[in-house]
């Protein structure tokens, strides 16, 4: 038996900004309070689900604060909602009713996220969600192996919070990779004995192994190399272990290969351009294996995912 992967409820609600602050260069953290309708919808949201934000009315920041590489695109009109996953969802109980708080991390990549940096406390945005399918947690799970590549952080952090709350006896181990120290989307500090410390995981009591392509933080190389080494040394029981991964598709492909070699189930959160989030635009297709036929088929990341069983995904990338 497994916990449900989808809440089944979705709709449009209003969220009020209570925190919107930079973590480090290019990375920001937000906290939103949902209205009554949104609180009802998101109270049963599953780690790995996402929402679509309407940022069309968000104002641009002052011209002098716009990064040079975004100045040409900054004034581009925002026509479509943008997908965001969450690093935690919490429920605040009060006499007036329950209020759901959404927390997330985002990277400033284009005109929409640039406008998002200019949201102030009390500003409101329209949110569509919760959308998609989240992670599955087997009832007999003993070890959760959490793998993050770059901006794959939010859904895995959300899962880590959820596991700690609902399964306090479960063993959790995290593997976090990025290209460089600067591209790690976390609050970091240097530990005397452990090197780079990711404070989000430290607060949860979860050991996090770190690797960067250039060696500027943690080990030098791909985080999947650290994952493979840990599995070889610790040999967790495949019947009671799951690998949960989110990040660039080459990393997910390597996680899937490692999972197949070790006979450990693996769930991957895929990334696609999800223009509508509800399956209308058909722009987020993921190529997967059919269960009883040789020919592949296509599933929509926004509806059938974003979380998939890695054994079914036909990854489009070839590089490690």
Say if residue 127 is in the same domain as residue 154. Answer: no
Q: How far apart are CA 204 and CA 157, in angstroms?
A: 10
Say if residue 75 is in the same domain as residue 188. Answer: no
Say if residue 162 is in the same domain as residue 117. Answer: no
Q: Is residue 138, in this structure, part of any structural domain at all? A: no
Q: Is the pTM of this model over 0.85?
A: yes
**228 touches 258 (CB < 8 A):** yes
Q: How far apart are CA 54 and CA 58, in angstroms?
A: 9
Query: Beta strand 241-246 with 266-269: parallel, antiparallel or unpaired?
Result: parallel
Return all residues near 169 (Cβ < 8 A) that are at least 6 apart.
none
Query: Beta strand 124-131 with 50-54: parallel, antiparallel or unpaired?
Result: antiparallel
Q: Is residue 254, in this structure, part of any structural domain at all? A: yes
Q: Is residue 126, in this structure, part of any structural domain at all? A: yes
**What is the pLDDT, as a whole number, of residue 194?**
57
Say if residue 153 is in the same domain as residue 102. Answer: no
pLDDT confidence tier of residue 197, bands split at 50, 70 and 90: confident
**What is the pLDDT, as a whole number, of residue 4?**
42
**pLDDT tens digits, one per residue of 138-172:** 999 999 999 999 999 999 999 999 999 999 999 99
In the numeric block, the tokens 């509508």 are attached to: 276
Q: Is residue 51, in this structure, part of any structural domain at all? A: yes
User: Number of folded domains in the chain?
Assistant: 2
Is residue 93 packed enough to be buried (19+ CB in 10 Å), middle (13-18) or exposed (0-12)?
exposed
Q: Is residue 279, in this structure, part of any structural domain at all? A: no
**208 touches 234 (CB < 8 A):** no
Residue 45 has pLDDT above 50, yes or no: yes
Lowest pLDDT segment from 100-109, 182-191, 299-308:
182-191
**What is the pLDDT, as a whole number, of residue 190?**
77
CA angle 195, 148, 236 (to 5 degrees): 85
Q: Is residue 255, in this structure, part of any structural domain at all? A: yes
Lowest pLDDT segment from 140-154, 192-206, 234-248:
192-206
Task: Look at residues 109, 131, 153 and tell me which one is the last residue of a structural domain.
Answer: 131
Q: Is residue 294, in this structure, part of any structural domain at all? A: no
Closest by CA to 127, choosing from 235, 212, 16, 246, is 16
Is residue 261 packed enough to be buried (19+ CB in 10 Å), middle (13-18) or exposed (0-12)?
exposed
**What is the pLDDT, as a whole number, of residue 320?**
42
Say if residue 152 is in the same domain as residue 118. Answer: no
**What is the pLDDT, as a whole number, of residue 10?**
86
Distances in whole angstroms, Cα of residue 139 to Cα of each of 158, 220, 239 = 18, 36, 12
Question: Percent of the chain at pLDDT above 70?
Answer: 95
Tokens found for residue 157 = 């952090």
Say if residue 173 is in the same domain as residue 217. Answer: yes
Say if residue 203 is in the same domain as residue 227. Answer: yes
**32 touches 15 (CB < 8 A):** yes
Higher model confidence: residue 75 or residue 256?
A: 256
Q: How far apart are CA 131 and CA 80, in angstroms?
A: 16
Q: Is residue 136, in this structure, part of any structural domain at all? A: no
DSSP E strands: which ranges in 35-170? 50-54, 82-85, 88-92, 99-107, 124-131, 143-149
Domain hosting 208: range is: 143-270+305-309
Tokens found for residue 262 = 């070790």
pLDDT confidence tier of residue 6, bands split at 50, 70 and 90: low
Average the pLDDT over 198-202 and give the result. Answer: 92
**DSSP per residue, 284-305:** -EEEE--SS-SS-EEEETTTT-
Average the pLDDT over 70-95 and give the result. Answer: 90
Give the CATH number, domain containing residue 54: 2.40.30.10
Residue 319 has pLDDT above 70, yes or no: no
């Amino acid at each position: 038996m497994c916990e449900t992967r989808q809440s089944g409820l979705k709709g449009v609600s209003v969220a009020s900004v209570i925190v919107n602050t930079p973590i480090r260069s290019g990375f920001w953290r937000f906290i939103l309070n949902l209205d009554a309708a949104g609180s009802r919808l998101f109270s049963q949201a599953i780690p790995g689900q996402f929402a679509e934000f309407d940022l069309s009315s968000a104002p641009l920041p002052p011209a002098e604060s716009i990064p040079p590489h975004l100045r040409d695109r900054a004034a581009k009109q925002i026509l479509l909602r943008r997908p965001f996953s969450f690093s935690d969802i919490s429920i605040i109980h009060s006499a007036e009713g329950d209020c759901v708080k959404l927390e997330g991390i985002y990277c400033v990549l284009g005109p929409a996220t640039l406008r998002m940096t200019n949201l102030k406390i009390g500003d409101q945005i329209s949110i569509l969600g919760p959308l998609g399918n989240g992670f599955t947690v087997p009832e007999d799970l003993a070890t959760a192996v959490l793998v993050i590549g770059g901006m794959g952080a939010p859904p895995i952090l959300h899962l880590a919070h959820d596991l700690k709350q609902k399964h306090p006896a479960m063993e959790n181990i995290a593997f976090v990779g990025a290209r460089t120290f600067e591209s790690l989307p976390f609050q970091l500090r240097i530990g005397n004995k452990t090197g780079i410390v990711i404070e989000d995981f430290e607060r949860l009591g979860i050991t996090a192994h770190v690797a960067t392509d250039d060696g500027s933080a943690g080990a030098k190389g791909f985080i999947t190399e650290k994952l493979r080494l840990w599995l070889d040394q610790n040999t967790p029981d495949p019947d009671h272990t799951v690998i949960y991964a989110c990040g660039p598709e080459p990393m997910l492909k390597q996680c899937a290969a490692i999972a197949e070699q070790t006979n450990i189930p693996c769930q991957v959160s895929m990334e696609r351009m999800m223009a509508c989030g509800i399956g209308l635009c058909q722009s987020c297709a993921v190529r997967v294996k059919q269960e009883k036929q040789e020919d592949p088929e296509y599933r929509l990341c926004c509806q059938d995912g974003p979380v998939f069983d890695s054994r079914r995904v036909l990854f489009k990338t070839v590089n490690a």
